[in-house]
Chains A and B, each alone.
Chain A
């Protein structure tokens, strides 16, 4: 019995949105309990009061009551509207990450989470974050669909192969919290779990410094850029066969058919693995595909490098 009272009913509320989600949850629980009790009680009461008293008893008709039908259609509808508006506004609010978010990168693969900090440290099945800072995670999968789930933060998002998805959160208290994969992904799906360590900003800085034995992602990306031959065509002053990538990230870029697209992580990834799908300006479609030559981690490093050039001057090419 003691074990029963010790069962928590909810995980810790450790993010800026957790309390809001919990409040909605309590409201929904209250509605559910209310109507369940009302219906059960009504049934119980009516069952007893109108139990059959003789085998041939036939009760009189109680007719139709349009007003009653309308009432019990309208009231549930209104309750649903309230829930919908409340839940949707919470959802829309939480959908867009704050502008000044710290970015981190997640690659899900069977059956572990690779986490990359832009400064260079890599983690497996662990995520160290500073408290009180909005964190944006850009995620992709190397194989099947996974799902990145931190119950204490009330955040969850599918992690898909071939594209990026993102979530953001802001931790509100230090501590250690569960991280799960919440989309069935094969044999060791239930072992694809880990921990999120929320630290004070000074502790986090210390951890970052100690863990940074590698170069930053942007530096690794720059090395790859030369190694793979990208710099041959993408000359920084715009004189090469391909457009310069300086000052490109975050801008709108014109495509050959006249439409324009925002140069974000997804566009750059597409350009690397399927160049023909993003024909830029008047450049001829001669960029080879690098699919199969770079893994998702390396793509993220290249993107980090290109992002680091964002503040440079853009020399207009063709």
Chain B
């Protein structure tokens, strides 16, 4: 970078959204990418604490965790998994559209579709899983009533349900934050901020969205699929 005058001349070439602590757009993009990866590393450690605790207790109380897992409805977990995977696809399409200079409308279409799928995920979870759990009185701390046949396992079944709600709840919170980020991206796209040269916010938000998806890919088998579902098991 040269002195003030030269900088002024170069300034007009900076795209909208350029932040002046950086030397150039490339540095800004690199910094943004690295920042998002570092943030995702912190998220891995954040969820990791809960995954570790869950794993330890599952190891110690497997029969209770099997019982708990059978209280969950695999069908809705599976549908939600498909919904999220599709939303990652639509997110990738949104980024691709920006990279290949598609119209604002195309980008917004894919973003809105991603939001719709994300909202569907949260909606399905709330209506068909958590509300159902509430009706069945298996929400710890709210209205958990142990079934008689669980016997001495009741405490650990409740612990399983705790982990279920904590982990999927934390995940859902991240989804909702993601929906917020997506709405901001829709607004930015509408304002014409993105182009093949500058679409870093889309790209790094995409990283976040994929991460949230991947967390669910781990949660689903760990929580829903313990102990098999064969008749007689």
Q: Of B61, B63, B151, B152, which is in contact with the most chain A CB atoms at under 10 Å from its CB? A: B152
CB-based nearest A residue for B60: A277
Main secondary structure of the interface of B (DSSP, over half): helix
| Cβ–Cβ < 8 Å partners of A276 in chain B | 63, 151-153
CB-based nearest B residue for A273: B152
How many residue pairs link A and B with beta carbons under 8 A? The number is 12
Bound CA–CA A274/B153 (angstroms): 8
Bound CA–CA A289/B61 (angstroms): 16
**Size bin of chain A's contact surface:** under 10
Bound CA–CA A26/B73 (angstroms): 64
CB-based nearest A residue for B154: A289
Partner of A275, one of B61, B63, B152: B152
Report the count of interface residues on B (CB-CB < 8 A): 5
Bound CA–CA A275/B153 (angstroms): 9
| Cβ–Cβ < 8 Å partners of B63 in chain A | 276
Nearest chain A CB to B94 CB, angstrom units = 51
| Cβ–Cβ < 8 Å partners of B151 in chain A | 276, 285, 289
Bound CA–CA A277/B153 (angstroms): 9
Bound CA–CA A289/B153 (angstroms): 10
Digitize B136-174: 1 where CB-to-A-CB distance is under 8 Å, 0 elsewhere: 000000000000000111000000000000000000000
| Cβ–Cβ < 8 Å partners of B152 in chain A | 274-277, 289, 291
| Cβ–Cβ < 8 Å partners of A285 in chain B | 151
| Cβ–Cβ < 8 Å partners of B153 in chain A | 276
CB-based nearest A residue for B63: A276
Q: List residues of B (96-152) whose CB comes within 8 Å of A's CBs.
A: 151-152
Bound CA–CA A274/B154 (angstroms): 11
CB-based nearest A residue for B150: A276
Nearest chain A CB to B66 CB, angstrom units = 12
Bound CA–CA A277/B61 (angstroms): 8
CB-based nearest B residue for A289: B152
A interface residues, Cβ below 8 angstroms from B: 274-277, 285, 289, 291
Given contacts A274-B152, A285-B151, A289-B152, could you give 9 more A-B pairs where the C-beta distance is less than 8 Å? Answer: A275-B152, A276-B63, A276-B151, A276-B152, A276-B153, A277-B61, A277-B152, A289-B151, A291-B152
- 8 tightest A-B CB contacts, nearest first: A289-B152, A276-B152, A274-B152, A276-B153, A276-B151, A275-B152, A276-B63, A289-B151
